[in-house]
Amino acid sequence: MAKSRKRIVVVATPTSPILSHLINALSHNDSLQITVLTRETSVNILRANGHSHDHVHDHDHAHGHDSDHSHNHQHGNADLTHVQTDFSESELQTHLSSTNTVICAFTGSDIHLTHSIIDAASKAGAKLFIPSEYSLDTANPRIRELLPPYQTRFEIQQKLKGCGMNWKAIYSGVVLEEGLKTDGILGIDALWASVVVFPHRKETKIAVSTYGDIAQSIVRVVSEGEDQSGHEVHMCTFQASLQEIVDVVEKEIDRPLDKYEGVYEGAKKEAAERMRMGFFDGGVALLGRVAVWNNDVDAWSRWKEEGLEVEDDWVASIRKVVEMNQLGQFQRLNDDKSNLQTEEFDDLFSDI
């Protein structure tokens, strides 16, 4: 008799940057049956992740779910299904039935859907729930005070404490791919060769993770099952000081970074202004730099306590992301250049 697969449901924002890595990591485990629930989207979630086999559009009118479109794939030994849903109570009840584990990969305002997901998963008898974290430590009250999204995450954790399911929050520190963007938490702009340095203890080592390693950490938690103790996992690809990261970036781009001093109070003021003007994400990103570098926030003590195993070749991870970001930024600049077609713009970019 064939061994039954453990049913995993991933609820996600279609454009969540971790989603492709997560699907890829889960798909290699032949003991899992995986369903991905998203809002209606033009993005072919499974095909975007390398699952290029034929798929079936299943419009489930029998249960009244006219908005429910299912794309079924068999990739290797993994059973993968993508369902587009409106996340109504009735549809969640259907799609979470007989589920062992629920993994959340929400971004932006979608994270508020987590409350209804918890209710439905608890009623369905799910054993393990993994909320959308994969960043700084939500348990730190100073981080919650600085960053509004973390207060929302904390409220979700409070709800989980009374839901009857085991749950596990995975904290991964700074996401390398996001942190090295021009407006990222690390404050490093590899394209224009600059770095904003906020006052901090020079020996401070921050926890940094790649999306791929975060996905692998999620898979490990799923594999360990619902009986594991504790509700928190602190993981990272590597730990390094800002200067160590800067040294790698400078070597990769073959030029020194111009250093600019960051001012905490000025950053807070600018962040508040950005959010007042409707640029919420930009304001939160700036406050993220305060959270990461301000010693009073104490963002990294829990990673020190864990005694983590880290990647030996972390330098290669940084170099790879710098190269990818540079290619992406050059492409955007060239697109802008071709659109504007002005003499001043041509002069500005004559050296590129």
Give just the sign of the alpha carbon dihedral 89, 95, 97, 103: negative
Q: What is the pTM of this model?
A: 0.85
Structure tokens that stand for 249 in this block: 């970036």
Q: What is the pLDDT of residue 229?
A: 79
Provide mean pLDDT across the span 341-349: 45
**pLDDT tens track for 143-183:** 999 999 999 999 999 999 999 899 999 999 999 999 999 88
The single-letter code of the amino acid at 149 is: P
Provide mean pLDDT across the span 291-315: 85
Least confident interval from 7-11, 232-236, 282-286, 345-349: 345-349
Per-chain mean pLDDT for the chain: 85
Phi and psi at 281, nearest 5°, equal -60, -40
Residues 250 and 255: their CA atoms lie apart, in Å, by 5
Q: What is the pLDDT of residue 325?
A: 82
Residues 5 and 1: their CA atoms lie apart, in Å, by 12
**pLDDT tens track for 19-28:** 999 999 999 8
- The DSSP line for 273-318 is HHHHTT-HHHHHHHHHHHHHH-TTT-TTHHHHHHT----TTHHHHH
Estimate to the nearest angstrom the gap between the alpha carbon of 85 and the chain centroid. Answer: 21
Provide mean pLDDT across the span 10-27: 95
Q: Percent of the chain at pLDDT above 70? A: 80
With a cut of 70, say whether residue 333 has pLDDT above it. no
Provide mean pLDDT across the span 226-242: 89
CA distances from 346 to 105, 192, 193, 334, 352 (A): 42, 17, 21, 10, 10
With a cut of 90, say whether residue 334 has pLDDT above it. no
Adjacent-strand bridge partners of 314? none
Helix, strand, or coil (residue 172): coil
Q: What is the pLDDT of residue 310?
A: 67
**pLDDT tens track for 254-270:** 999 999 999 999 999 99
Q: Which of 105, 103, 79 is nearest to 13 (CA)?
A: 105
**pLDDT tens track for 61-109:** 333 444 455 555 555 456 889 999 999 999 999 999 999 999 999 999 9
Residues 64, 53 contacting (CB under 8 angstroms): no
With a cut of 70, say whether residue 134 has pLDDT above it. yes
With a cut of 80, say whether residue 204 has pLDDT above it. yes
Give just the sign of the alpha carbon dihedral 141, 147, 150, 152: positive
Phi and psi at 308, nearest 5°, equal -75, 145
Q: What is the pLDDT of residue 329?
A: 59
Tokens 């918890």: give the residue. 118
